[in-house]
A and B are shown apart, each in its own frame.
Chain A
Amino acid sequence: MSQKQQDLLETGRLEYLQALVTEFQVTESPDAKEQVLANLANFAYDPKNYEYLRQLQVLDLFLDMLTEDNETLVEFAIGGLCNLCLDKINKDYILEADGVAPVINCLSSSNEETVMSAVTTLMYLTTPQSRQQTTALPVVECMLRFSLSANRRLSNLARVFLEDYCSPDQVEEARNLSKHTAVGIPLPKD
């Protein structure tokens, strides 16, 4: 084990994450910001980190980044949310912070990963209470279009969304609606 890793062992997980958050907040470099956000989003994959990430208010950090202009930051932030939103506490937190709306906005991104993460996040955020919001008509309409996409990953995901999270009535309603309004949100670039 190298000295560096040894040091990190001693620093501890919370301190390390704290260092990341601090760097994210103080850095002037856009590159460093992206790298740190990617780090945090990857840490959000592992349930062991959830407690620390909540303590450091990383959930708010991710939610804030969803409205950034920098597409990479949005991609990483929604990836982070997608990674941690299955946890009950995190889910409740995001729902209470009105996180669904900015996630739905991500559906119209031109970045493929952003859209993928947003669809999955919406699925994972769906509860009996939030269902109305996460499967609102425009969302279902959007999923219908995605399900026809040539991008297999996206069409698979959209089909799971339509089949598992929406009622047949909802899908039917959206289908009728999209017949009339042919123009929609552009599909993400491949």
Chain B
Amino acid sequence: MAAPGDGAVGSVCKHHAQQGVCDSRAKYREGRRPRAVKVYTVNLESRYLLIQGVPALGVMKELVEQFALYGAIEEYNALDEYPAEQFMEVYLIKFQKLQSARIAKRKLDERSFFGSLLHVCYAPEFETVQETREKLQDRRKYIAKATSNRVNFVAKMIQEPNKTVSKNSECDFKPETSGFSAAHANSGNWDPSGRCPSSYKPSCNFSSVNRVCPSGDHFWSGLAFPQYVSNYAETSEYFNQSTSLSESVQQGGHTHTPVSLVRQRKAPSDNGIGRFMPRTTQLQERKRKRDQGNRLAFIGMDSDSTEVIIGPQLPEMPKVDMDDDSLNTSASLIRTKLKEVVVSAPKTSGEKPKDSQAKPLIKQRRRI
């Protein structure tokens, strides 16, 4: 704690007041969240966060736990002398790393906490001279590193104008992040040595997600892999890419489940090959297999005469060997869960068209 008795510290600072949200922005400049017009510089950032709007319910432990989700906390304490509304408290939390403070602020500002909205802001006035100095030096180091990486990256792009690389640099563009939160992601690794391994991490997680997922869309890992390799310097791009990709994987796993299960039964060993296919080929291949799968499903009529519905049979849950015990266990767990859901759900709701693949099947049944 930086000398709490000091005159200026603990008093209200102008930059703590919440500015009004700007509502006159042009459409193309609107961000995901309404924001005030403000320019962030290194001077406004800090490892110290001031949290206003905490209900005086003795919830410091819960508050600190919430913030600790975003990084190691070095110190925390209540600011009794700081002016607050009635039945409200103000807390100061000092993170070990600036990056943690950034994320915590972004995630928890304006978040509801025990029935009240938190207002989280940086509190650089609690820094010591040494901490201010280090903050400025960190920024200097970061820029030096980022710009030298940038040079390498550009040079590499010129050397081999790879399709994935150029696509990547377009894709990572985030609109209203205003560069600032893009930098958040970007500056994720201040520690130079920590940079490389951690930027590989998303790709690893990613492919494991991919395999456990019953749809087994190898296509995605094929797409993700070269990107991760091709520019490991651009951390933030991983960040964006990996999140968006894994989202789509989950989605893909969901919607395509019946279809790709069929596909996987027929071609369980295209693991390595699929990875190196160009994207367009893979899409075509997938479509072809999907069509084939649908055809098969249509041919397989229900032979049970007691059944009233004589529509096409839904593809049976296949027993796939995933070449790994734990993967098989996960797969069978998912399989039983899916079965449970299908059985327990009432017929009508279960047959609601969830996606384009399911539609033709259901239509068929309705007609008969």
Using a CB–CB cutoff of 8 Å, the interface residues on chain A facing chain B are 1, 4-5, 8-10, 12-13, 16, 19-20, 23, 29, 31-32, 34-36, 38-39, 41-51, 75-76, 79-80, 82-83, 86-89, 112-113, 116-117, 120, 123-124, 150-153, 155-157, 159-160, 163-164, 190
For the complex, give the distance between the alpha carbons of A128 and B333 in Å. Answer: 66
Shortest CB-to-CB span from A152 to chain B, Å, is 4
Across the interface, A45 reaches (CB within 8 A) one of B41, B127, B174, B234, namely B41
How far is A86 from B145 in the complex, measured between Cα atoms in Å?
11
**Which chain B residues border A16 with CB–CB below 8 Å?**
28, 173, 175
Chain B residues within an 8 Å CB radius of A156: 124, 127-129, 132
Given A8-B173, A9-B171, A87-B147: A35 and B24 within 8 A (CB)?
yes
* Least Cβ–Cβ distance between B12 and chain A, in angstroms: 10
Q: A34-B37, A35-B29, A190-B14 are in contact. Are A86 and B140 (CB under 8 A)?
A: yes
Q: A1-B244, A152-B9, A164-B133 given as contacts; is B147 within 8 A of A88 (CB)?
A: yes
Chain A hits for B175, CB < 8 A: 4-5, 8, 16
User: Which residue, of B44, B127, B129, B150, has the highest number of chain A Cβ atoms within 10 A?
Assistant: B129
Chain B positions within 8 Å of A, measured between CB atoms, are: 6-9, 13-15, 22, 24-26, 28-30, 37-44, 124-129, 132-133, 136, 139-140, 143-144, 146-147, 150, 154, 170-171, 173-175, 178-180, 182-183, 186, 234, 236, 244
Name the residue of chain A whose CB is nearest to the CB of B9: A152
Contacting residues, chain B, for A164 (C-beta < 8 A): 133
Q: Is the CB of A43 within 8 A of B179?
A: yes
Residue pair B170, A82 in contact (C-beta under 8 Å):
no
**In the complex the two chains form, is B133's CB within 8 Å of A150's CB?**
no
Can you list 9 pairs linking A and B with CB atoms under 8 Å apart? A5-B174, A8-B28, A16-B28, A45-B41, A49-B179, A50-B147, A112-B15, A152-B125, A152-B127
Contact B133 A82 (CB under 8 A): no
For B234, the closest partner residue in chain A by CB is: A48
**Smallest CB-CB separation from A85: which chain B residue?**
B143
> Shortest distance in angstroms between A170's beta carbon and chain B's nearest beta carbon?
18
Q: Does B38 lie within 8 Å of A45, measured CB to CB?
A: no
Chain B contacts for A153, CB-based, 8 A: 13, 43, 124-125, 127, 132
Chain B residue nearest to A156 (CB atoms) is B132
Within 8 Å by CB of B180, from A42, A51, A151, A152, lies A42
Contact call B129/A159, Cβ cutoff below 8 A: yes
Using A42-B179, A153-B43, A157-B43 as known contacts, say yes or no to A36 and B29 having CB atoms under 8 A apart.
Answer: yes
Q: A38-B37, A45-B180 are in contact. Are A86 and B125 (CB under 8 A)?
A: no
Interface contact tally, CB-CB below 8 A? 150
Q: Are B39 and A75 in contact (CB under 8 A)?
A: yes
What is the bound-complex CA distance between A1 and B146, given in angstroms? 28
Q: What CA separation (Å) do A5 and B42 show in the bound complex?
A: 27
| Closest B residue, CB atoms, query A53 | B179
Nearest chain B residue, comparing its CB with the CB of A34? B37
Instruction: State the CA gap A16–B173 with chains docked (Å).
Output: 10
**Which residue on chain B has the smallest CB distance to residue A119?**
B43
Tell me the complex Cα distance, A32–B37, Å.
Answer: 10
* B24–A45 CB distance below 8 A: no
Q: Tell me how far the C-beta of A3 lies from the nearest C-beta in chain B, rounded to whole angstroms.
A: 12
Which secondary structure dominates chain A's binding surface? helix
Name the one of B41, B174, B183 contacting A120, with C-beta atoms under 8 angstroms. Answer: B41
B146 to chain A, nearest CB (A): 4
Contact yes or no, B6 A152, CB < 8 A: yes
Contact B173 A117 (CB under 8 A): no
Known: A82-B43, A120-B43. 18 other contacts (CB 8 A): A9-B170, A10-B170, A19-B28, A23-B26, A32-B26, A35-B25, A38-B37, A42-B40, A42-B179, A45-B183, A47-B143, A48-B146, A48-B150, A83-B41, A87-B143, A152-B9, A153-B13, A156-B124
A160 touching B244, Cβ below 8 Å: no
CB contacts (< 8 Å) of A83 on chain B: these are 39, 41-42
With contact pairs A8-B173, A86-B143, A157-B132 given, residues A45 and B43 touching in the complex (Cβ less than 8 Å): no
User: 7 tightest CB-CB pairs across the interface, nearest first?
Assistant: A43-B179, A42-B178, A79-B39, A46-B179, A47-B146, A152-B125, A86-B143
* A157-B133 Cα distance, complex, nearest whole Å: 8
A112-B132 contact given A34-B37, A82-B42, CB 8 Å threshold:
no
* B37 nearest CB across to chain A (Å): 5
A47 touches B147 (CB 8 A): yes
> B178: which of A39, A48, A124 is its contact (CB, 8 Å)?
A39
Shortest Cβ distance from B133 into A: residue: A160
Query: In the bound complex, what is the Cα–Cα distance between A34 and B36 (angstroms)?
Result: 11
How many angstroms from the CA of A39 to the CA of B179 in the assembled complex?
8
A82 partner residues in chain B, CB cutoff 8 A = 41-43
Contacting residues, chain A, for B26 (C-beta < 8 A)? 23, 32, 35
Q: Which residues from B are CB-within-8-Å of A76?
A: 39
* Bound: A42/B183 CA distance, A: 10
Contact check, A79 vs B125: say whether CB atoms are below 8 A apart: no
Kindly list chain A residues whose C-beta atoms are within 8 Å of the C-beta of B171. Answer: 9
